[in-house]
Amino acid sequence: MSRGPLQSGVAAEIGCPLSPAGPASSVLRFAARRLLPALSESHETAEPGLRGDTLSLRRLTTMIERRYRSRPGRLAALALPLALASCSGGSRDDAPAAATSRSEVHLTVYNADFALVRETRTIELSQGRTTVQVSDVSRLLDPTSVLLSWPTATNAQVVATAYDLGVDSTDDLLQRYLGREVEMIWRAQDGRVGQTVRGTLQVTAGGDTVLQTDDGLLVNGGGAIVAPTSASIVTIPQLGVEIESQQSGEAPLSVAYLTRGLAWSADYVATLDPSTDALSLECWATVTNNTGANFPKSEVTLVAGTPNRAVRGRTSGGFPPAEEMDVSNLAKREDQGLYMNKVKEPIATGELYAYKVKAKSDITNGRMNRLRMIHAPNVVARRDYSIRLPHISYWEWMSNGAPMNQNAQLAIAFANKEDAGLGLPLPEGAVRVYEPSKDGVTYVGAAAIGNTPDGNRVDLTISSVFDLTCQYRVVSKKRIDRSHVRIEVEVLVRNAKTKEIPVRMVMEIGSDTKVLAESHKGVKLDAVTRQWSVPAAAEKETKLTMTLAARG
């Protein structure tokens, strides 16, 4: 289709020739795309009723055509500086690199503040050399860990890679324009550009700028600096990839790298039934992202355990702790059965365990994303009341023989077994214990759990016991011979509760101390530790006595 005088005139003035096979209005659409931002903001060119609205391409094309017929010189004046930037590259000092689209994001997150990022980028290859900018990557990635591969393309290979941190401030950005030509503009009160000076940026430091112009050095001119866009000026972290390809076309590129700034931790919420001591246990995973990048719709795998790392990432570019918590992915509570709500059954990977999140998650920078991993509503547990008695020599040195009073400690004990309602590898984390009450729940205490394999026992000491105390004292001490002393010890257990409480009493007596007599039969736990089980009667005192032969 032949071009009319209108299209030919615009094409000639903006320097962007039409394809003979293209539609007659293509040049107008081209100009509309270039002029859309400027005309939307310009008071002088805005149509009545369009101010403040978004201009569609069709409406803008019509407006350009109408205005061009009446004032062609004015259209050329508007079109030329904008169109040259895109058609002839006059405002750029080098050609832009090919961009990439992002898909199939996989995150494998470890406890020790690092993760493996895997994703697929779709790129447009050109025959010969192509430079690809992979944006939206972690600011804390380890450049030496980057792994690039082609799932389908066989005639392309990666020649070189480069990692650019981008800039964190305007000072950093201007530093990259030192020795380059920029413009300084001054605007009137109505926002219109008044004066423009072009020059070479010579100095930029601490807010001071120096431009070398045709008339001399312009020091701190006070205007706004307008710098040309450039593929070599990177404002956000990007991974540059140079590719050699034997043919052109679209191809997927697999990108993988290790990074700091991604970490996860587990914490538990346990609700203890005061009547049956049954335990409802939930485990939540908190994934924290401080990488400076977002990972939308990611497949997340959480790994319990810490593999050795051959190379640590950079130590610069730290981020403050996150202050927001994204709770959009919190799971609905279920009432029956042991299940993995958001996380699949853990899988052994070498000597570690991996927990794969079922649903895709948006792992946003600067936020804590919480996912429920485990819910076991009926774990068989028991309360364990214990008192650790002082070592004989330690008690004499600290108290000079005076009675010593202390409270019992409460622990929650359970077996990590399937027949006890669990039987899953439990990642390390804090456990907070609650009890139901009339007003909802009451906080009982907290403890820490280590990485616990299936089949192991868990003991959580969560608090001291207000109503269960003991008094420890030495009743008598008599020398038996030159190297041994006979010691009689009395322990009074006071139970102010309305029911009997079984109490475990543990004491380190040493390998050189013998038990001559005891009121309750004790058990030797190891070479230096002995344990007694004493039923503390309700609202009474219960006495434990023992006679020891100690070296001294």
Residue 414 CB burial class (10 angstroms; 0-12, 13-18, ≥19) = buried
pLDDT tens for each residue of 341-355: 355 556 555 567 888
In this predicted structure, the answer to whether residue 242 has a pLDDT above a threshold of 50 is: yes
Please give the structure tokens belonging to residue 199.
């020059």
In this predicted structure, the answer to whether residue 417 has a pLDDT above a threshold of 90 is: yes
How far is it, in rounded angstroms, from Cα 263 to Cα 316? 17
Q: Which of 203-207, 298-302, 305-309 has the lowest mean pLDDT?
A: 305-309
Given a contact cutoff of 8 angstroms between Cβ atoms, the answer to whether 75 and 64 are in contact is yes
In this predicted structure, the answer to whether residue 46 has a pLDDT above a threshold of 70 is: no
pLDDT tens for each residue of 86-140: 333 334 444 445 556 788 899 999 987 889 999 999 888 888 888 888 888 898 8
Mean pLDDT of 231-241: 70
How far is it, in rounded angstroms, from Cα 311 to Cα 306? 14
Rounded to the nearest 5°, which phi and psi values hold at 66? -65, -45
Q: From 24, 27, 26, select the one nearest 4 (Cα to Cα).
A: 24
pLDDT tens for each residue of 434-485: 999 888 889 999 999 998 989 999 999 999 999 999 999 888 888 888 888 8
pLDDT tens for each residue of 248-282: 888 888 999 999 999 999 999 999 998 888 899 99
Question: How remote is the C-alpha of 383 from its chain's centroid?
Answer: 36
Query: Looking at residue 512, what is its pLDDT?
Result: 80
Please give the structure tokens belonging to residue 414.
């359970």
How far is it, in rounded angstroms, from Cα 361 to Cα 173? 33
Query: Looking at residue 29, what is its pLDDT?
Result: 46
How far is it, in rounded angstroms, from Cα 81 to Cα 90? 9
Query: Looking at residue 371, what is its pLDDT?
Result: 84
Mean pLDDT of 409-436: 93
Beta bridge partners of 385: 410, 503
Given a contact cutoff of 8 angstroms between Cβ atoms, the answer to whether 259 and 138 are in contact is yes
How far is it, in rounded angstroms, from Cα 222 to Cα 184? 8
Q: Which of 138-147, 326-335, 422-431 has the lowest mean pLDDT?
A: 326-335
How far is it, in rounded angstroms, from Cα 224 to Cα 301? 47
Q: What is the DSSP string of 27-64?
A: HHHHHHHHHHHHHHH-TTTPPTTTTTSPPPHHHHHHHH
Query: Looking at residue 44, what is its pLDDT?
Result: 42
pLDDT tens for each residue of 483-514: 888 889 999 999 999 999 999 999 988 778 88
Q: Which of 234-243, 278-287, 382-391 has the lowest mean pLDDT?
A: 234-243
What value, to the nearest 5°, has the Cα angle with vertex 393 and ends 390 and 395?
45
Query: Looking at residue 344, what is its pLDDT?
Result: 52
How far is it, in rounded angstroms, from Cα 108 to Cα 547? 59
How far from 128 is each of 131, 157, 159, 417, 439, CA to CA, in Å?
Answer: 10, 11, 11, 61, 72
Query: Looking at residue 349, what is its pLDDT?
Result: 56
Please give the structure tokens belonging to residue 388.
């650790």
Rounded to the nearest 5°, which phi and psi values hold at 138? -65, 140
How far is it, in rounded angstroms, from Cα 18 to Cα 26? 7
pLDDT tens for each residue of 176-190: 778 888 888 888 888
Q: What percent of the chain has pLDDT over 70?
A: 69
Q: What end-to-end distance do the CA atoms of the chain give, in Å?
A: 114
How far from 327 is each of 145, 286, 362, CA to CA, in Å?
Answer: 32, 11, 11
CA dihedral 319, 324, 328, 332 (to 10 degrees): 110
Query: Which H helix or E strand runs over 175?
Result: helix 170-175
